Amino acid sequence: MEIVAWIGFSQALFSGLLTLTKKDKSISDKLLSGWLFLLAIEFLTFGLESKMFPDFILLSNSFLLFNPALFLYTRSLTQPHFKLHPIQFLHLVPYLFFKITAWIIKEPQSFENFFQSNNTLWFRLLFGVFGVASWIVYLWLTGIIITRHRKQQI
């Protein structure tokens, strides 16, 4: 798995740089570059975690990162006057919260013991709720945006 992490990091970083250095970048290109850089960061942290914690993988959910990125990227492609506002970076807060907290409390990713009653059960339950909510909310909103865009194109 560690090799996959480093290859993923390299490919995401290269793709992000390639997209960022493109001539005449649109807001969609900039968002795609940002998305690829975030993907590179996720692979990098996974690679570092595998070195720092060789016995287990920390509890993480990259979809807390990818689902909002997909939503914003889709909006940038379908809405002609889309602008990225600083408040939209709040979409990254759940990912950062769970990533940093997992590092601090060293919560392992273990589905066998996910509901085990201990002092970090609150974290795992909150993590699960946010993960499922991320899938439902962002993918539903993305679907609505795409459906509306397709109806306008007809």
Tokens matching residue 86: 């600083």
Tokens matching residue 94: 């759940």
Tell me what pLDDT residue 93 has: 94
What's the pLDDT band for 135 if we cut at 50, 70, 90? very high
Tell me what pLDDT residue 10 has: 94
**Whether the model pTM is above 0.95:** no
Question: Does residue 127 carry a pLDDT above 80?
Answer: yes
Q: pLDDT of 73-122, one tens digit each? A: 999 999 989 998 999 999 999 999 998 898 888 887 877 778 888 888 89
Give me the sign of the Cα torsion angle 38, 40, 45, 46: positive
d(CA 78, CA 81): 9
Residue 123, CA distances (Å) to 25, 33, 35, 107 in order = 40, 31, 26, 9
Residue 126, CA distances (Å) to 53, 74, 86, 94, 134 in order = 23, 27, 26, 10, 12
Q: pLDDT of 26-73, one tens digit each? A: 889 999 999 999 999 988 988 888 888 777 777 777 889 899 999 999
Tell me what pLDDT residue 138 has: 96
Tell me what pLDDT residue 61 has: 77
* Domain ranges (residues) in the chain: 1-55, 61-154
Nearest 5 degrees, angle CA 143-CA 8-CA 97? 60
Q: Higher model confidence: residue 133 or residue 106?
A: 133
Question: Does residue 12 carry a pLDDT above 80?
Answer: yes
Whether residue 145 contacts residue 127, with contact meaning beta carbons closer than 8 Å, is answered with no
